């Protein structure tokens, strides 16, 4: 699970990380000095082309 939700104290030190926003907000409920920072989702990697797919893209046809 990706732990994108990070809770910082008033001094800027990270206290905990969470997997969902609801858990982070519940942890911070009675502590107004805490701050929640959310990291952006990491983009999915594009699959690499195989040599066959690369040749097919360059030539445009394939004989079996």
Residue pointed to by tokens 């805490």: 34
Q: How far is CA 47 from CA 32, 35, 44, 55, 61, in A?
A: 44, 37, 9, 16, 21
Tell me what pLDDT residue 6 has.
93
Higher pLDDT, 58 or 6: 6
Tell me what pLDDT residue 37 has.
87
Q: Which of 16, 10, 4, 56 has its CA nearest to residue 33?
A: 10
Domain ranges of the chain: 1-40
Could you read off the pLDDT of 13-53 as tens digits, one per residue? 999 999 999 999 999 998 889 999 888 887 878 888 888 88
Tell me what pLDDT residue 7 has.
93
Tell me what pLDDT residue 14 has.
92
Pairwise CA distance, residues 7 & 44, whole Å: 25
The values of phi and psi at residue 25, to 5°, are: -65, -40
* pTM greater than 0.75 (yes/no): no
């Amino acid at each position: 699970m990706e732990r994108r939700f990070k809770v910082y104290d008033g001094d800027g030190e990270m206290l905990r990380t969470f997997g969902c926003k609801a858990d982070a907000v519940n942890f911070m409920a009675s502590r107004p000095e805490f701050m929640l920072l959310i990291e952006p989702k990491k983009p999915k990697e594009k699959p690499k082309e195989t040599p066959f797919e690369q040749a097919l893209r360059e030539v445009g046809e394939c004989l079996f």
